[in-house]
Amino acid sequence: MSHEGSSRVVSGRHNGRPTLEEVAALAGVGRGTVSRVINGSPRVSEQAREAVARAVAELGYVPNQAARALAGSRTDAVALVIPETEARLFSEPYFLDLIRGVSAELAEADRQLLLTLVRTERERQRFEQYLAAQRVDGVLLASVHGDDPLPDRIRGMGLPVVMNGRRSEGEPVAYVDSDNIGAGRAAVSHLVARGRNRIATISGPLDMYVARARLGGYRQGLAEAGRAPDESLVATGDFTEEGGRLAMRELLARSRGLDAVFAASDVMAAGARGVLREAGRRVPDDVALVGVDDSAVARLMDPPLTSVRQPIEEMGRTMTRMLLQQITEPPESEAVAVGGRPPAEEPRRVLPTELIVRASS
């Protein structure tokens, strides 16, 4: 395109400032590719990189990220907030896999990771003050409970934010989740196919959507198999090994005849396995056992645990890419001014899960 042609594109705008969409159109690539080039990501072909560079030069485009850097407000840092104790953070494979995915994606984008544990109201207030001081460019949130106000407060500050999981079915904040309902359904369908009749479940804490979704999937699986629900076969845990132990004792006290257990995490399944052994119940001969996560815990159990795999590391990568896109692209209000489009909904992704069958069932 000639310089004269590009001038016609710019002159049609309200403020004369080229947009990321115009750069993408001129370069013949997508918005995401332009963002990656501007952000210095290595995941772009040399041909695309050169096309974007030519378009940027021809249009005189100044990326939003560069404008922030010139204003002295860009930090090149992203916060990952986990509302858990250090003991749980470093003992649960889930969080370690999530951090691995987030860290790898940030490293590719040449960004720093700030890992923050927010466990009390005081710590939450202190973290909000830290954000207000513009110390980070965006926030990733994990393990959020249903009544947690932090996601909305971060968004209210104008900071990009993406959650790992969600607080409710109608979550208004951007998130990346896995198919938790499908996880529960797959586990129960497998246990029914194995000829199990009294299938119990150990859920996570019910103030978390992930726990309610897996419990809902368990109930759907029973309904699809023509099984009547029995609340005596449902016990609540807290995603810890001790929580799994306590819930398993509760289930055995209520129903000695149970012959299968779907635990909503591998760690809780490990706790349940210990109690079953103490009670003289053999796995899988007397009681089949299924978990969720397909973590190292599942592979190292005796016998190895059947588990519903969720792509934890990929969830970390996906939510980080989402956040970086929010950070590097122009405000949505500018896109509306150009194309007359309504504001887009917050991005959300639900990744598939997969049942991995091992000797415990």
Same domain, 225 and 264: yes
**What is the per-residue pLDDT for 171?**
92
Q: Within this chain, do residues 301 and 186 fall inside the same structural domain, yes or no?
A: yes
Q: Is residue 149 part of a domain?
A: yes
Q: How far is CA 248 from CA 2, 210, 357, in A?
A: 72, 20, 21
Output the CA torsion sign for 134, 138, 143, 146.
positive
How far apart CA 262 and CA 194 sit, in angstroms, is 13
Same domain, 54 and 197: no
Q: Is residue 240 part of a domain?
A: yes
For residue range 185-244, list pLDDT tens digits in order.
999 999 999 999 999 999 999 999 999 999 999 999 999 999 999 999 999 999 999 999
In a domain, 336, yes or no: no
Same domain, yes or no: 272 and 324: no
Q: What is the pLDDT of residue 62?
A: 62
Does 185 lie in the same domain as 271?
A: yes
Q: Which structural domain range is residue 158 located in?
A: 77-178+313-329
Residues 140, 127 within the same domain: yes
d(CA 224, CA 143): 30
**Residue 32 is assigned to a structural domain of this protein:** yes
Say what the pLDDT of residue 42 is: 64
Q: Tell me, what CATH number does 130's domain have?
A: 3.40.50.2300
Distance from the Cα of residue 123 to its chain's centroid: 22
Confidence at residue 253, expressed as pLDDT on a 0 to 100 scale: 96
Specify the length of the chain in residues: 361
Residues of the chain where predicted confidence (pLDDT) is lower than 70:
1-17, 35, 39-43, 62-74, 330-345
Contacts 24+ apart (CB under 8 A), 150-153: 150/81, 150/118, 150/124, 153/128
Q: Contact at 8 Å (CB) between 261 and 199?
A: yes
Mark whether 195 and 305 lie in a shared domain. Answer: yes
- The answer to whether residues 142 and 205 belong to one domain is no
The reply to whether 251 falls in a domain is yes
Q: Does residue 317 share a domain with residue 170?
A: yes
Q: Residues 204, 210: contact at Cβ < 8 Å?
A: yes
**Helical pair 20-27 and 31-38, crossing angle rounded to 10 deg:** 100
Q: What pLDDT score does 337 carry? A: 35
pLDDT value for 4: 36
Inter-residue contact 279 to 256 (CB < 8 Å): no
| Token pair for 107 | 């490293």
Asked whether 148 and 166 are in contact (CB, 8 A), the reply is no
Regarding whether 54 and 10 lie in a shared domain, the answer is yes
166 and 203 share one domain: no
Domain total in the chain: 3
Q: In the listed set 36, 62, 88, which residue is the last one of a domain according to the structure?
A: 62
The per-residue pLDDT for 249 is: 98
Residues 218 and 300 in one domain: yes
The CATH number assigned to the domain holding 17 equals 1.10.260.40
